[in-house]
Structure 1
């Protein structure tokens, strides 16, 4: 089995090739290494290989891992990429750089409330259910624009873009990535500060090249770096 460092290098080369093919700059896509169910030692191994941005999906696991002594005083940039319940917001509010999994107004309101309490400015992405699958979280695409006005008014939090988890079928995934990109373009037209809407978090180990072709600015890769869970 290849090392985490070798896997990271291979992914970076794939990102570069996909960007060039799509006519984009390679540095326009950020790699978020997904470490859910993986131990802190593997996070450290990836960190030592130059990876700085990591994504976690489960609050309790994230709290334990981020507090592990092996990662103390490290320059890690944490993303929370899982579905976030309102009652869990307070646990992560001061520990993450970007929250990917906000999918309803009430959760955004809780994020805003906690950010105010901590005197923080928090960036977040809105998760959209582009596949329409009932098993997936995310705001329905047709609710996005009507909810946006309320989202834009919330203090201490800034909507930076959209996130989705696509269907396993690659052709369906391509359509869903395109849908997310078009939704972001529509959102910019009604946003008070459209220049802040810069992020599309989409694409994982099996489909990130298609996501890059459709405009992804962040891809979330776990198994191709760390192996299957």
Structure 2
């Protein structure tokens, strides 16, 4: 799961990046609104979630929000969590009315930030929700997004490593869509990672052994997909 952090306070941004990375998120950080728009408008680098500060050096976050929604593809909903020191009620209302999906004021606890991100993930994903967990079910495979466990029709339950879980989640949330190696790399790693050229191939090889070779299809020379199931 890739998060774009738009925040010009470098000390705060560093702390958020560390906290999210420890929880399995790939985090890209920019300090300017125009850089955020550039990433959102690119299919390969578009994030899954955005954490947005309102007081940016080149534009106000309230002006940036509608531009983010205009730039992102119509079928690629990107939820935005506003993270701001503006704590007055009119500021919160303005942020939500401008297109924010949630609003968290500074200072904040990391635990609350993570909880709010999980809520936004559940809203954005194409999944079945229960009071206990969020589950994506396709054919013989069910993926629990709360505990990173995969369950097969045979009843076998497997806890997946972080990268394998992320790949399987991406494919299962978008059945029928082909993802290239570059697209999966962009979802799994941030700009600063030194990524081996065959890293995604290795993760997919391991996943296919666990899910069954036919569940994840290889489209030779193009990428991978999970078929839609009735």
The TM-score bracket by the shorter chain reads 0.3 to 0.5
- TM-score normalized by structure 1? 0.33
Q: Determine which structure has more spread, i.e. the larger CA radius of gyration.
A: 2
Flag the structure with more relative contact order, 1 or 2, with Cα contacts below 8 A and sequence separation at least 6. 1
Please identify which structure carries the higher helix content. Answer: 1
Please identify which structure carries the higher strand content. Answer: 2
- TM-score normalized by structure 2? 0.33
